[in-house]
Amino acid sequence: MSHVEIISPERAAELVKDGAVLIDIRETPEHASENIPGARHHALSQIDRRHPARDGDTVLIFHCKSGMRTKMNAKRLAECAGDCDVYLLGGGIEAWKRAGLPTSAGAGGNDRPQGGLLDRLASLFR
């Protein structure tokens, strides 16, 4: 297992802009109540049964609510990520929100903000 780096929300947003995949490891009810648009949901309880990495993924950024679950499971997350580079979002979705980055809330997490995630992230770096 290679070193797993904890990164800031701003750095995570840059990596997502460049093609990294955010992986939300929170359980379904948490993800449904609020999520980061475009993040792939893969509950920690399912990690050992099916892997979160998909063909074409090269960089995975795992996140939870506060960053604690990802830190406590860093080795396990890195092992299930295949050949992908692995990062942890420091402070989780809470830090993402404090940084002013977009989240989506509502029934099933289907309420999406106007504009796509990449458009919103791109506007932060103009």
Tell me how far apart the alpha carbons of residues 8 and 4 are, in angstroms, rounded to a whole number: 13
Beta bridge partners of 85: 59
Q: Is 64 a catalytic residue?
A: yes
Q: Which of 12, 16, 39, 64 is catalytic?
A: 64
Tell me how far apart the alpha carbons of residues 30 and 45 are, in angstroms, rounded to a whole number: 13
By CB neighbour count within 10 A (0-12 exposed, 13-18 middle, 19+ buried), where does 96 fall? Answer: buried
Residues near 120 by Cβ (< 8 Å), separated by ≥ 6?
Answer: 37, 101, 102, 113
Distance, C-alpha 24 to centroid of its chain: 5
Q: Which residues have a catalytic role annotated?
A: 64
